[in-house]
Structure 1
Amino acid sequence: MKFAVLVFPGSNCDIDCYKAVESTIGQSVDYVWHTATDLSAYDAIIVPGGFSYGDYLRCGAIAQFANVMNEVKKAAEQGKYVLGICNGFQILTEAGLLPGALIRNNGLKFRCHSTNLEVVNAATPFTNQYAEGDIIDIPIAHGEGNYYCDDETLAELKANNQIVFRYACDTNPNGSVENIAGISNKAGNVVGMMPHPERAVNQLLGSEDGKGMFTSILNAWREQHGAAVNG
């Protein structure tokens, strides 16, 4: 399996994502610059956190127009796995790959600490190594992590089981509607989340609960690949 970790001017979690793939599942991984015009060689794409283009205008607003995002859209349409983390989540919403928007934290302060998440949907390619209802310890680091959507979109998210993670145990750090910490597209192959699983892959970091996301992606790809080969 081959991973691409996108790099925008201002990305600062790209190395963390690269190392998480390398250390947890030992798969091939490349840094891919934002000017790239071909992602066909990759099975999974990670859009990392940071401050792409300095968060000018608003978070992810400029990054959505980068050349590589046209290729991310193509990859998503082809059913490849796309994971947006923190600023990556913001970019995916700005690009229309995920519904809703991320706005300023309700306390108007940057929040950086460990957070308990509830796994709401364990049937995605990103969560199949968890069980529904699992509480996992994943850190956050954001100032604009308040997930917002209108009532119609929220009803669709619930009806289609697109809510992947919620902040658990009344720990909502930013005011997100319905405590939402991560969502998927309708097909389930694109997920965006504000917490950082790549920062929770070793107990030395305080938690290794994020490892399951990377092993889930590899497991999903192997199942898909095996089905294709056997077919």
Structure 2
Amino acid sequence: MNFAVLVFPGSNCDIDCYKAVEDTVGQPVEYVWHTETDLSKYDCILVPGGFSYGDYLRCGAIARFAPVMGALVKAAAEGKYVLGICNGFQILTEAGLLPGALMRNRELKFRCHQALLQVENAKTAFTSDYEQGEIISIPIAHGEGNYYCDEATLAELKANNQIVFRYKTGENPNGSVEDIAGICNKAGNVLGMMPHPERAISELLGSADGKRMFTSILSTWREQHGAAAVN
């Protein structure tokens, strides 16, 4: 299984994502610069956190127009896995790959600490190794993680089981609507989340709960591609 980690000017979690793939699933992984226009060789594309293009205008607003984004939209339409983390989530909403928007945190402060999440949908390609309703510890690091959508969009997210993660009740760090921490598209192959699973792959880092996101992706890909892919 081939992984890509997109790199924009200002990305700063690209190395974390690369190492997470190496350390959790041991599959081929490459950095892909934002000027590339072909992602056809990759099965999963990671859109990492950071401050793409300095977060000018608003988070993800400029990155959304990078040359690689056309290829990313195509890959998503083809059913390839796309995982946007933090700034990556912001980019995916700006690009229209996920609904809603990320606003300034409710208290207008940058929040950087461990966060408890509840797994709301354990049947996605990204969460199959988790238990439904499980509480996991994944760190956050954001100033604009306040997820917002209108009532109609929220109703649609619920109806289609697109809410994948919520912050544990009473521990919402940013004011996001209904404690939403991560959502997927209707097809289930594109996930955006504010917490950083790539920073939770070892107990030395405070939690290893992020490892199962990467093993989930590999397991689902292998199931879809038959037993021959296992080896």
- TM > 0.5 between the two? yes
Superposition pairs for residues 37-56 of structure 1, below 5 Å? Answer: 37-56=37-56
Partner of 1:208: 208
Structure 1 counterpart SS, 2:70? helix
- Contact persistence 2:49–2:88 (CA under 8 A): yes
How far is 1:228 from its partner? 9.5
How far is 1:169 from its partner? 3.2
How far is 1:170 from its partner? 1.0
Could you tell me how far apart the structure 2 residues matched to 1:165 and 1:73 are? Answer: 23
Structure 1 counterpart SS, 2:226? helix
Could you tell me how far apart the structure 2 residues matched to 1:3 and 1:145 are? Answer: 26
Partner of 1:118: 118
Could you tell me how far apart the structure 2 residues matched to 1:227 and 1:174 are? Answer: 43
RMSD: 1.0
Could you tell me how far apart the structure 2 residues matched to 1:169 and 1:102 are? Answer: 20
Could you tell me how far apart the structure 2 residues matched to 1:38 and 1:227 are? Answer: 28
Partner of 1:91: 91
Q: Does 1:81 align with 2:81?
A: yes
Could you tell me how far apart the structure 1 residues matched to 2:98 and 2:90 are? Answer: 9
- Contact persistence 1:116–1:137 (CA under 8 A): yes
> What is the identity, as a one-letter code, of the residue corresponding to 1:99?
P
Structure 2 counterpart SS, 1:75? helix
> What is the identity, as a one-letter code, of the residue corresponding to 1:190?
V
Could you tell me how far apart the structure 2 residues matched to 1:132 and 1:101 are? Answer: 26
Partner of 2:15: 15
Could you tell me how far apart the structure 1 residues matched to 2:161 and 2:72 are? Answer: 23
Aligned residue pairs, count: 229
Amino-acid identity (%):
78
Structure 2 counterpart SS, 1:140? strand
Structure 2 counterpart SS, 1:178? helix
Normalised to the residue count of structure 1, the TM-score between the two structures is: 0.98
Normalised to the residue count of structure 2, the TM-score between the two structures is: 0.98
Could you tell me how far apart the structure 1 residues matched to 2:208 and 2:152 are? Answer: 36
How far is 1:203 from its partner? 0.6
Structure 1 counterpart SS, 2:114? strand
> What is the identity, as a one-letter code, of the residue corresponding to 1:145?
G
Deviation readout 1:153-208 (Å, 9 max, x if unpaired): 00000000000000003110000000000000000000000000000000110000
> What is the identity, as a one-letter code, of the residue corresponding to 2:38?
D
Partner of 1:160: 160
Partner of 2:150: 150
Superposition pairs for residues 152-231 of structure 1, below 5 Å? Answer: 152-226=152-226
